[in-house]
Chain A
Amino acid sequence: MKNPYLRAVWAVFRKDLAAEFRSRELIPAMLVFAVLVVLIFYFALELDVKARTAITAGALWVTFSFAGTLGLNRTMSAEKDQGCLDGLLLAPLDRSAIYFGKFFSNLAFMLIVEVIVIPAYSLLYNINLFNRGLLLVTLLGSVGYVAVGVLLASMSVQTRTRDVLLPVLLFPLVLPVIVAAVKASGGFLAADAFTEISPWLNLLLVYDIIFLAAAFMVFDYVVEE
Protein backbone atom coordinates (compact mmCIF):
# COMPACT_ATOMS: atom_id res chain seq x y z
CA MET A 1 0.00 0.00 0.00
CA LYS A 2 1.49 3.28 -1.14
CA ASN A 3 -0.90 5.65 0.51
CA PRO A 4 0.53 6.54 3.95
CA TYR A 5 -2.93 7.11 5.43
CA LEU A 6 -4.15 3.66 4.43
CA ARG A 7 -0.88 2.19 5.67
CA ALA A 8 -1.47 3.74 9.08
CA VAL A 9 -5.02 2.38 9.19
CA TRP A 10 -3.72 -1.04 8.19
CA ALA A 11 -0.97 -0.93 10.85
CA VAL A 12 -3.40 -0.14 13.67
CA PHE A 13 -5.77 -2.82 12.40
CA ARG A 14 -3.01 -5.42 12.23
CA LYS A 15 -1.70 -4.49 15.66
CA ASP A 16 -5.13 -5.10 17.19
CA LEU A 17 -5.58 -8.41 15.44
CA ALA A 18 -2.08 -9.56 16.40
CA ALA A 19 -2.67 -8.59 20.02
CA GLU A 20 -5.96 -10.45 20.02
CA PHE A 21 -4.62 -13.60 18.41
CA ARG A 22 -1.77 -13.73 20.92
CA SER A 23 -3.73 -12.99 24.08
CA ARG A 24 -7.04 -14.52 22.97
CA GLU A 25 -8.98 -12.70 25.63
CA LEU A 26 -11.57 -10.77 23.67
CA ILE A 27 -13.23 -12.95 21.05
CA PRO A 28 -13.66 -16.03 23.30
CA ALA A 29 -15.25 -13.86 25.99
CA MET A 30 -17.57 -12.20 23.49
CA LEU A 31 -18.49 -15.57 22.03
CA VAL A 32 -19.25 -17.28 25.31
CA PHE A 33 -21.23 -14.25 26.40
CA ALA A 34 -23.19 -14.21 23.14
CA VAL A 35 -24.06 -17.90 23.40
CA LEU A 36 -25.14 -17.36 27.01
CA VAL A 37 -27.45 -14.56 25.93
CA VAL A 38 -28.95 -16.83 23.28
CA LEU A 39 -29.52 -19.49 25.95
CA ILE A 40 -31.08 -16.99 28.33
CA PHE A 41 -33.47 -15.99 25.58
CA TYR A 42 -34.59 -19.57 25.35
CA PHE A 43 -35.52 -19.74 29.01
CA ALA A 44 -36.75 -16.19 29.36
CA LEU A 45 -39.05 -16.21 26.35
CA GLU A 46 -39.83 -19.92 26.06
CA LEU A 47 -38.99 -19.87 22.40
CA ASP A 48 -41.29 -22.49 20.98
CA VAL A 49 -41.39 -23.03 17.27
CA LYS A 50 -44.08 -20.43 16.67
CA ALA A 51 -42.47 -17.67 18.73
CA ARG A 52 -39.06 -18.35 17.22
CA THR A 53 -39.79 -17.07 13.74
CA ALA A 54 -41.15 -13.80 15.08
CA ILE A 55 -38.48 -13.21 17.69
CA THR A 56 -35.29 -14.46 16.02
CA ALA A 57 -34.32 -11.13 14.45
CA GLY A 58 -34.79 -9.28 17.73
CA ALA A 59 -32.97 -11.91 19.78
CA LEU A 60 -30.03 -11.88 17.40
CA TRP A 61 -29.62 -8.12 17.50
CA VAL A 62 -29.91 -7.91 21.28
CA THR A 63 -27.20 -10.57 21.45
CA PHE A 64 -24.95 -8.73 18.99
CA SER A 65 -25.31 -5.38 20.66
CA PHE A 66 -24.61 -6.75 24.14
CA ALA A 67 -21.61 -8.75 22.98
CA GLY A 68 -20.50 -5.71 20.99
CA THR A 69 -20.29 -3.46 24.04
CA LEU A 70 -18.15 -6.05 25.76
CA GLY A 71 -15.65 -5.97 22.91
CA LEU A 72 -15.66 -2.20 22.50
CA ASN A 73 -15.00 -1.64 26.19
CA ARG A 74 -12.16 -4.10 26.24
CA THR A 75 -10.23 -2.93 23.19
CA MET A 76 -10.30 0.68 24.23
CA SER A 77 -9.45 0.13 27.88
CA ALA A 78 -6.52 -2.11 26.86
CA GLU A 79 -5.16 0.83 24.84
CA LYS A 80 -5.64 3.19 27.73
CA ASP A 81 -4.30 1.02 30.56
CA GLN A 82 -0.99 0.16 28.97
CA GLY A 83 -0.38 3.63 27.61
CA CYS A 84 -0.62 2.34 24.08
CA LEU A 85 -2.99 5.13 23.10
CA ASP A 86 -0.37 7.73 24.02
CA GLY A 87 2.10 5.90 21.85
CA LEU A 88 -0.29 5.90 18.94
CA LEU A 89 -1.00 9.59 19.43
CA LEU A 90 2.72 10.37 19.36
CA ALA A 91 3.07 8.76 15.96
CA PRO A 92 3.25 11.31 13.15
CA LEU A 93 0.01 10.43 11.42
CA ASP A 94 -3.46 11.76 10.93
CA ARG A 95 -5.37 10.82 14.06
CA SER A 96 -8.46 9.74 12.22
CA ALA A 97 -6.31 6.90 10.86
CA ILE A 98 -6.22 5.55 14.42
CA TYR A 99 -9.99 5.73 14.52
CA PHE A 100 -10.38 3.83 11.28
CA GLY A 101 -7.82 1.23 12.35
CA LYS A 102 -9.74 0.63 15.56
CA PHE A 103 -12.98 0.71 13.62
CA PHE A 104 -11.88 -2.08 11.29
CA SER A 105 -10.42 -4.25 14.04
CA ASN A 106 -13.56 -3.95 16.17
CA LEU A 107 -15.70 -4.61 13.13
CA ALA A 108 -13.62 -7.72 12.48
CA PHE A 109 -14.11 -8.94 16.07
CA MET A 110 -17.82 -8.35 15.88
CA LEU A 111 -18.15 -10.08 12.51
CA ILE A 112 -16.17 -13.07 13.74
CA VAL A 113 -18.54 -13.39 16.69
CA GLU A 114 -21.57 -13.01 14.43
CA VAL A 115 -20.29 -15.55 11.96
CA ILE A 116 -20.10 -18.07 14.78
CA VAL A 117 -23.29 -17.07 16.62
CA ILE A 118 -25.54 -17.19 13.56
CA PRO A 119 -24.85 -20.88 12.75
CA ALA A 120 -25.00 -21.72 16.46
CA TYR A 121 -28.37 -20.05 16.68
CA SER A 122 -29.54 -21.89 13.56
CA LEU A 123 -28.46 -25.15 15.09
CA LEU A 124 -29.93 -24.58 18.55
CA TYR A 125 -33.28 -23.31 17.35
CA ASN A 126 -33.49 -25.28 14.15
CA ILE A 127 -34.14 -22.26 12.01
CA ASN A 128 -32.35 -21.52 8.77
CA LEU A 129 -30.43 -18.26 9.04
CA PHE A 130 -28.24 -18.75 5.98
CA ASN A 131 -29.83 -16.01 4.02
CA ARG A 132 -27.84 -13.61 1.86
CA GLY A 133 -30.07 -10.70 2.83
CA LEU A 134 -29.60 -11.39 6.52
CA LEU A 135 -25.83 -11.42 6.12
CA LEU A 136 -25.95 -8.08 4.31
CA VAL A 137 -28.06 -6.58 7.12
CA THR A 138 -25.66 -8.00 9.69
CA LEU A 139 -22.76 -6.33 7.93
CA LEU A 140 -24.48 -2.94 7.54
CA GLY A 141 -25.80 -3.00 11.09
CA SER A 142 -22.41 -3.91 12.54
CA VAL A 143 -20.72 -1.10 10.60
CA GLY A 144 -23.08 1.50 12.10
CA TYR A 145 -22.85 0.00 15.56
CA VAL A 146 -19.05 -0.14 15.58
CA ALA A 147 -18.68 3.31 13.95
CA VAL A 148 -20.44 4.99 16.88
CA GLY A 149 -19.21 2.45 19.40
CA VAL A 150 -15.49 2.99 18.82
CA LEU A 151 -15.91 6.75 19.05
CA LEU A 152 -17.91 6.59 22.28
CA ALA A 153 -15.66 3.91 23.78
CA SER A 154 -12.63 6.11 23.25
CA MET A 155 -14.48 8.80 25.20
CA SER A 156 -15.84 6.58 27.96
CA VAL A 157 -12.44 5.03 28.79
CA GLN A 158 -11.26 8.52 29.65
CA THR A 159 -13.95 8.98 32.31
CA ARG A 160 -14.19 7.84 35.89
CA THR A 161 -17.14 5.50 35.36
CA ARG A 162 -15.63 3.88 32.25
CA ASP A 163 -17.17 0.50 31.41
CA VAL A 164 -20.49 1.33 33.01
CA LEU A 165 -20.88 4.42 30.91
CA LEU A 166 -20.45 2.98 27.42
CA PRO A 167 -23.83 1.23 27.05
CA VAL A 168 -25.59 4.25 28.54
CA LEU A 169 -23.97 6.51 25.95
CA LEU A 170 -24.17 4.06 23.08
CA PHE A 171 -27.65 2.54 23.14
CA PRO A 172 -29.73 5.70 22.73
CA LEU A 173 -27.55 6.71 19.77
CA VAL A 174 -27.59 3.37 17.94
CA LEU A 175 -31.31 2.86 18.33
CA PRO A 176 -31.98 3.58 14.62
CA VAL A 177 -29.47 0.85 13.72
CA ILE A 178 -31.13 -1.67 16.00
CA VAL A 179 -34.66 -0.82 14.81
CA ALA A 180 -33.69 -0.93 11.14
CA ALA A 181 -31.55 -4.06 11.47
CA VAL A 182 -34.23 -5.97 13.35
CA LYS A 183 -36.90 -4.96 10.84
CA ALA A 184 -34.75 -5.76 7.82
CA SER A 185 -33.53 -9.10 9.22
CA GLY A 186 -37.10 -10.02 10.12
CA GLY A 187 -38.18 -9.09 6.61
CA PHE A 188 -35.54 -11.24 4.99
CA LEU A 189 -36.33 -14.19 7.27
CA ALA A 190 -40.03 -13.93 6.51
CA ALA A 191 -39.15 -13.63 2.79
CA ASP A 192 -40.99 -10.33 2.45
CA ALA A 193 -40.95 -8.41 -0.80
CA PHE A 194 -37.76 -6.41 -1.31
CA THR A 195 -39.72 -3.15 -1.61
CA GLU A 196 -40.81 -3.59 2.00
CA ILE A 197 -37.29 -4.16 3.25
CA SER A 198 -35.45 -1.55 1.19
CA PRO A 199 -36.43 1.49 3.35
CA TRP A 200 -34.74 -0.18 6.31
CA LEU A 201 -31.65 -0.98 4.28
CA ASN A 202 -31.51 2.64 3.11
CA LEU A 203 -31.78 3.83 6.69
CA LEU A 204 -28.91 1.56 7.72
CA LEU A 205 -26.78 2.79 4.85
CA VAL A 206 -27.51 6.46 5.62
CA TYR A 207 -26.75 5.94 9.30
CA ASP A 208 -23.44 4.23 8.49
CA ILE A 209 -22.33 7.03 6.20
CA ILE A 210 -23.42 9.88 8.49
CA PHE A 211 -21.75 8.45 11.56
CA LEU A 212 -18.54 7.37 9.86
CA ALA A 213 -18.25 10.91 8.50
CA ALA A 214 -19.10 12.47 11.87
CA ALA A 215 -16.57 10.27 13.65
CA PHE A 216 -13.94 11.19 11.08
CA MET A 217 -14.57 14.85 11.86
CA VAL A 218 -14.73 14.73 15.67
CA PHE A 219 -12.23 12.01 16.54
CA ASP A 220 -9.43 14.59 16.76
CA TYR A 221 -11.30 16.27 19.60
CA VAL A 222 -11.74 12.99 21.46
CA VAL A 223 -8.05 12.22 21.73
CA GLU A 224 -6.56 15.70 21.92
CA GLU A 225 -4.97 16.62 25.23
Chain B
Amino acid sequence: MSPQPRTLKILNLVSLLLLVASTLLVFFYAPTEKVMGLVQKVFYVHVATAWVGMLGFVVAAVLAVVYLRTKDLKWDAIGLAAVELSLVFFFVAVVLGSIWARPAWGTWWTWEPRLTTAAILGMIYLAYLLLRQGIEDPVRRARFGAIYTILGGLSVPLTFLSIRLFRTIHPVLIGSGGGESMGMTDEMLHTMFFHIAAFTVIFITLFWHRIRLAQYAEKVEQRKLQVMQ
Protein backbone atom coordinates (compact mmCIF):
# COMPACT_ATOMS: atom_id res chain seq x y z
CA MET B 1 0.00 0.00 0.00
CA SER B 2 1.35 3.37 -0.97
CA PRO B 3 1.19 5.96 1.81
CA GLN B 4 -1.29 8.80 1.51
CA PRO B 5 0.13 11.79 -0.33
CA ARG B 6 0.88 14.86 1.74
CA THR B 7 -1.93 16.93 0.24
CA LEU B 8 -4.44 14.23 1.10
CA LYS B 9 -3.23 14.12 4.71
CA ILE B 10 -3.66 17.86 4.95
CA LEU B 11 -7.11 17.58 3.39
CA ASN B 12 -8.09 14.96 5.98
CA LEU B 13 -7.26 17.36 8.76
CA VAL B 14 -8.89 20.35 7.06
CA SER B 15 -12.07 18.37 6.43
CA LEU B 16 -12.29 17.37 10.06
CA LEU B 17 -11.75 20.95 11.22
CA LEU B 18 -14.33 22.25 8.75
CA LEU B 19 -16.86 19.70 9.94
CA VAL B 20 -16.34 20.76 13.56
CA ALA B 21 -16.40 24.46 12.64
CA SER B 22 -19.60 24.18 10.61
CA THR B 23 -21.31 22.33 13.44
CA LEU B 24 -20.25 25.05 15.88
CA LEU B 25 -21.56 27.71 13.51
CA VAL B 26 -24.95 26.05 13.37
CA PHE B 27 -25.35 26.05 17.12
CA PHE B 28 -23.56 29.20 18.24
CA TYR B 29 -23.54 31.60 15.30
CA ALA B 30 -26.74 31.10 13.33
CA PRO B 31 -29.81 32.44 15.13
CA THR B 32 -32.72 30.16 15.88
CA GLU B 33 -35.50 30.57 13.36
CA LYS B 34 -38.58 32.27 14.77
CA VAL B 35 -41.32 30.15 13.28
CA MET B 36 -39.73 26.75 12.79
CA GLY B 37 -37.44 26.80 15.79
CA LEU B 38 -34.57 24.40 16.32
CA VAL B 39 -35.50 21.99 13.54
CA GLN B 40 -34.57 24.63 10.98
CA LYS B 41 -30.91 24.03 11.86
CA VAL B 42 -30.95 20.75 9.99
CA PHE B 43 -31.41 22.83 6.86
CA TYR B 44 -27.75 23.94 6.66
CA VAL B 45 -26.50 20.38 6.37
CA HIS B 46 -29.39 19.49 4.09
CA VAL B 47 -28.52 22.18 1.56
CA ALA B 48 -24.81 21.36 1.72
CA THR B 49 -25.23 17.60 1.26
CA ALA B 50 -27.75 18.11 -1.54
CA TRP B 51 -25.35 20.47 -3.28
CA VAL B 52 -22.46 18.05 -2.95
CA GLY B 53 -24.64 15.18 -4.16
CA MET B 54 -25.61 17.11 -7.27
CA LEU B 55 -22.01 18.15 -7.82
CA GLY B 56 -20.92 14.51 -7.85
CA PHE B 57 -23.57 13.59 -10.41
CA VAL B 58 -22.53 16.43 -12.68
CA VAL B 59 -18.91 15.30 -12.35
CA ALA B 60 -20.00 11.75 -13.22
CA ALA B 61 -21.84 12.94 -16.35
CA VAL B 62 -18.82 14.92 -17.51
CA LEU B 63 -16.53 11.96 -16.85
CA ALA B 64 -18.88 9.74 -18.85
CA VAL B 65 -18.35 11.92 -21.91
CA VAL B 66 -14.61 12.01 -21.25
CA TYR B 67 -14.56 8.23 -21.00
CA LEU B 68 -16.39 7.69 -24.29
CA ARG B 69 -13.92 10.07 -25.96
CA THR B 70 -10.69 8.73 -24.48
CA LYS B 71 -11.61 5.07 -23.72
CA ASP B 72 -9.33 5.26 -20.67
CA LEU B 73 -10.71 3.04 -17.90
CA LYS B 74 -9.28 5.42 -15.33
CA TRP B 75 -12.13 7.86 -16.01
CA ASP B 76 -14.69 5.13 -15.57
CA ALA B 77 -13.33 4.24 -12.13
CA ILE B 78 -13.40 7.90 -11.10
CA GLY B 79 -16.94 8.30 -12.48
CA LEU B 80 -18.13 5.31 -10.49
CA ALA B 81 -16.49 6.76 -7.37
CA ALA B 82 -18.35 10.04 -7.95
CA VAL B 83 -21.71 8.29 -8.36
CA GLU B 84 -21.30 6.12 -5.26
CA LEU B 85 -20.23 8.99 -3.08
CA SER B 86 -22.96 11.28 -4.40
CA LEU B 87 -25.60 8.66 -3.70
CA VAL B 88 -24.53 8.60 -0.05
CA PHE B 89 -24.64 12.39 0.29
CA PHE B 90 -27.87 12.52 -1.64
CA PHE B 91 -29.47 9.98 0.66
CA VAL B 92 -28.34 12.01 3.67
CA ALA B 93 -29.86 15.13 2.07
CA VAL B 94 -33.20 13.41 1.47
CA VAL B 95 -33.35 12.04 5.03
CA LEU B 96 -32.48 15.44 6.51
CA GLY B 97 -35.02 17.11 4.25
CA SER B 98 -37.62 14.66 5.51
CA ILE B 99 -36.77 15.50 9.12
CA TRP B 100 -37.23 19.16 8.30
CA ALA B 101 -40.38 18.61 6.26
CA ARG B 102 -42.27 16.78 8.99
CA PRO B 103 -42.72 19.84 11.26
CA ALA B 104 -42.52 22.43 8.49
CA TRP B 105 -44.91 20.89 5.97
CA GLY B 106 -46.59 18.42 8.28
CA THR B 107 -45.53 15.39 6.26
CA TRP B 108 -42.40 13.28 5.81
CA TRP B 109 -42.76 13.14 2.09
CA THR B 110 -44.70 15.06 -0.49
CA TRP B 111 -44.90 14.71 -4.27
CA GLU B 112 -43.28 18.00 -4.90
CA PRO B 113 -41.07 18.63 -7.99
CA ARG B 114 -37.71 18.75 -6.29
CA LEU B 115 -38.43 15.80 -4.02
CA THR B 116 -39.82 13.68 -6.81
CA THR B 117 -36.97 14.58 -9.13
CA ALA B 118 -34.54 13.74 -6.33
CA ALA B 119 -36.16 10.35 -5.91
CA ILE B 120 -36.02 9.66 -9.65
CA LEU B 121 -32.41 10.80 -9.81
CA GLY B 122 -31.60 8.39 -7.00
CA MET B 123 -33.37 5.58 -8.88
CA ILE B 124 -31.43 6.36 -12.05
CA TYR B 125 -28.12 6.02 -10.27
CA LEU B 126 -29.22 2.88 -8.45
CA ALA B 127 -30.15 1.47 -11.87
CA TYR B 128 -26.69 2.54 -13.04
CA LEU B 129 -25.10 0.45 -10.27
CA LEU B 130 -27.36 -2.52 -11.11
CA LEU B 131 -26.43 -2.22 -14.78
CA ARG B 132 -22.73 -2.30 -13.92
CA GLN B 133 -23.26 -5.29 -11.69
CA GLY B 134 -24.67 -7.32 -14.56
CA ILE B 135 -21.66 -6.91 -16.83
CA GLU B 136 -18.39 -8.75 -16.38
CA ASP B 137 -16.27 -7.32 -19.15
CA PRO B 138 -14.76 -4.13 -17.66
CA VAL B 139 -14.60 -2.30 -20.99
CA ARG B 140 -18.24 -2.95 -21.81
CA ARG B 141 -19.22 -2.14 -18.23
CA ALA B 142 -17.51 1.22 -18.52
CA ARG B 143 -19.06 1.93 -21.91
CA PHE B 144 -22.63 1.10 -20.89
CA GLY B 145 -22.21 2.91 -17.59
CA ALA B 146 -21.09 6.03 -19.43
CA ILE B 147 -23.99 5.87 -21.90
CA TYR B 148 -26.51 5.40 -19.13
CA THR B 149 -25.06 8.29 -17.14
CA ILE B 150 -25.37 10.57 -20.16
CA LEU B 151 -28.97 9.50 -20.82
CA GLY B 152 -29.76 10.03 -17.15
CA GLY B 153 -28.22 13.48 -17.26
CA LEU B 154 -30.43 14.32 -20.25
CA SER B 155 -33.65 13.05 -18.72
CA VAL B 156 -33.36 14.53 -15.22
CA PRO B 157 -33.96 18.17 -16.29
CA LEU B 158 -36.99 17.01 -18.31
CA THR B 159 -38.28 15.07 -15.32
CA PHE B 160 -37.91 18.17 -13.21
CA LEU B 161 -39.67 20.27 -15.82
CA SER B 162 -42.50 17.77 -16.14
CA ILE B 163 -43.15 17.73 -12.42
CA ARG B 164 -42.58 21.46 -12.14
CA LEU B 165 -45.67 22.03 -14.23
CA PHE B 166 -47.54 21.11 -11.06
CA ARG B 167 -47.39 23.62 -8.25
CA THR B 168 -44.43 23.65 -5.92
CA ILE B 169 -44.22 24.18 -2.17
CA HIS B 170 -40.48 23.73 -1.79
CA PRO B 171 -39.01 27.02 -0.56
CA VAL B 172 -36.98 28.81 -3.20
CA LEU B 173 -33.82 29.95 -1.46
CA ILE B 174 -31.98 32.11 -3.90
CA GLY B 175 -33.48 34.23 -6.62
CA SER B 176 -37.19 34.41 -7.33
CA GLY B 177 -39.32 31.77 -8.91
CA GLY B 178 -42.63 31.49 -7.12
CA GLY B 179 -43.03 29.52 -3.93
CA GLU B 180 -42.56 31.02 -0.51
CA SER B 181 -39.06 32.31 0.04
CA MET B 182 -37.45 31.91 3.42
CA GLY B 183 -36.47 35.11 5.13
CA MET B 184 -32.87 34.52 6.10
CA THR B 185 -30.68 36.77 8.18
CA ASP B 186 -27.08 37.45 7.21
CA GLU B 187 -25.83 35.05 9.89
CA MET B 188 -27.96 32.31 8.39
CA LEU B 189 -26.65 33.01 4.91
CA HIS B 190 -23.04 32.96 6.15
CA THR B 191 -23.66 29.64 7.88
CA MET B 192 -25.25 28.20 4.76
CA PHE B 193 -22.43 29.22 2.44
CA PHE B 194 -19.84 28.08 4.96
CA HIS B 195 -21.54 24.70 5.02
CA ILE B 196 -21.60 24.47 1.25
CA ALA B 197 -17.88 25.27 1.06
CA ALA B 198 -17.03 22.93 3.94
CA PHE B 199 -18.95 20.01 2.48
CA THR B 200 -17.39 20.57 -0.91
CA VAL B 201 -13.96 20.16 0.70
CA ILE B 202 -15.15 17.11 2.63
CA PHE B 203 -16.51 15.66 -0.58
CA ILE B 204 -13.22 16.18 -2.38
CA THR B 205 -11.36 14.45 0.45
CA LEU B 206 -13.69 11.46 0.45
CA PHE B 207 -13.64 11.39 -3.34
CA TRP B 208 -9.87 11.15 -3.30
CA HIS B 209 -10.00 8.29 -0.78
CA ARG B 210 -12.60 6.51 -2.89
CA ILE B 211 -10.44 6.82 -6.02
CA ARG B 212 -7.50 5.36 -4.11
CA LEU B 213 -9.75 2.51 -3.06
CA ALA B 214 -10.60 1.89 -6.71
CA GLN B 215 -6.90 1.74 -7.51
CA TYR B 216 -6.35 -0.83 -4.76
CA ALA B 217 -9.31 -2.88 -5.97
CA GLU B 218 -7.73 -2.88 -9.41
CA LYS B 219 -4.42 -4.09 -7.97
CA VAL B 220 -6.15 -6.87 -6.04
CA GLU B 221 -7.88 -7.92 -9.24
CA GLN B 222 -4.56 -8.10 -11.07
CA ARG B 223 -2.93 -10.12 -8.26
CA LYS B 224 -5.84 -12.56 -8.37
CA LEU B 225 -5.33 -13.06 -12.08
CA GLN B 226 -1.59 -13.61 -11.53
CA VAL B 227 -2.24 -16.23 -8.87
CA MET B 228 -4.79 -18.02 -11.02
CA GLN B 229 -2.40 -18.29 -13.92
Contact = CB atoms under 8 A, between A and B. Distances in A.
Interface of A: 148, 151-152, 155-156, 158-162, 165, 168-169, 171-176, 179-180, 183, 199-200, 203, 206-207, 210-211, 214, 218, 221-222, 224
Given A155-B144, A165-B130, A175 B154 contact: no
A158 B148 contact: no
B162 interface: yes
Contact of B120 (A148, A175, A210, A214): A175
Nearest to A180: B162
Contacts of A161: 130, 133-134
8 contacts: A148-B155, A151-B151, A160-B136, A176-B161, A203-B165, A211-B151, A214-B154, A222-B143
Contact of B68 (A156, A207, A214, A221): A221
Contacts of B158: 176, 203, 206-207, 210
Most A-side CB within 10 Å, residue of B124, B136, B146: B124
B221 to A, nearest CB: 18
Interface string B3-47: 000000000000000000000000000000000000000000000
SS of B interface (majority): helix
Contacts, number: 89
Contacts of A173: 124, 151-152, 155
Given A158-B140, A214-B154, A172 B148 contact: no
Contacts of B163: 179
B19 to A, nearest CB: 32
B159 A175 contact: yes
A200 B147 contact: no
A175 B136 contact: no
Contacts of A206: 158
Given A168-B130, A176-B162, 6 more contacts: A161-B133, A165-B134, A169-B127, A172-B155, A206-B158, A222-B144
Contacts of B150: 214, 218
A200 B165 contact: yes
A221 B143 contact: yes
B217 interface: no
A190 to B, nearest CB: 16
B123 interface: yes
Shortest beta-carbon contacts, A-B, top 3: A159-B134, A161-B134, A176-B158
Contacts of A155: 131, 144, 147-148
Interface of B: 68, 120, 123-124, 127, 130-131, 133-136, 140, 143-144, 146-148, 150-152, 154-155, 158-159, 161-163, 165
B135 A159 contact: yes
B178 to A, nearest CB: 16
Contacts of A169: 127, 130-131, 148
Contacts of B146: 221
A168 B128 CA distance: 9
A206 B150 CA distance: 17
B147 A211 contact: no
Contacts of A211: 151, 154-155
Contacts of B144: 155, 158-159, 222
Contact of A175 (B133, B134, B140, B155): B155
Contacts of A148: 151, 155
B147 A222 contact: yes
Nearest to A171: B123
Contacts of B133: 161
Contacts of A203: 158, 161-162, 165
A96 B120 CA distance: 29
A200 B164 CA distance: 11
A180 B155 CA distance: 13
Most-contacted residue by chain A among B140, B151, B152 (CB, 10 A): B151
Nearest to A210: B154
Most buried by B among A175, A183, A200, A206: A175
A38 to B, nearest CB: 25
Contacts of B131: 155-156, 159, 165, 169
